[in-house]
Amino acid sequence: MYTMDEHEAFEVMTRFLTAFFQRTNGDMATLMADIALQGDGLTNDPAAWNDWLTYVREVKAASGR
């Protein structure tokens, strides 16, 4: 579990969306379907969650906190 301030969270979101849009040419419908949470708390596309965690770790490592 990580604790983030607003700037770190915004950086994670920016990295996540940039990578997604580069891969899909901006397909917003796919993004929304991929990140939707299921009843078990997981995303429809497990790779989306793994990508999110990758960017969380990168931002936290860069911030040194």
Residue 24 pLDDT exceeds 80: yes
Confidence category of residue 2, pLDDT binned at 50, 70, 90: confident
Q: Are 55 and 20 in contact (CB under 8 A)?
A: no
In a domain, 1, yes or no: no
Predicted pLDDT of residue 1: 80
pTM of the predicted protein model: 0.85
Tally the domains of the chain. 1
53 part of a folded domain: yes
Are 6 and 49 a contacting pair, CB within 8 Å? no
Range of the domain at 24: 6-63
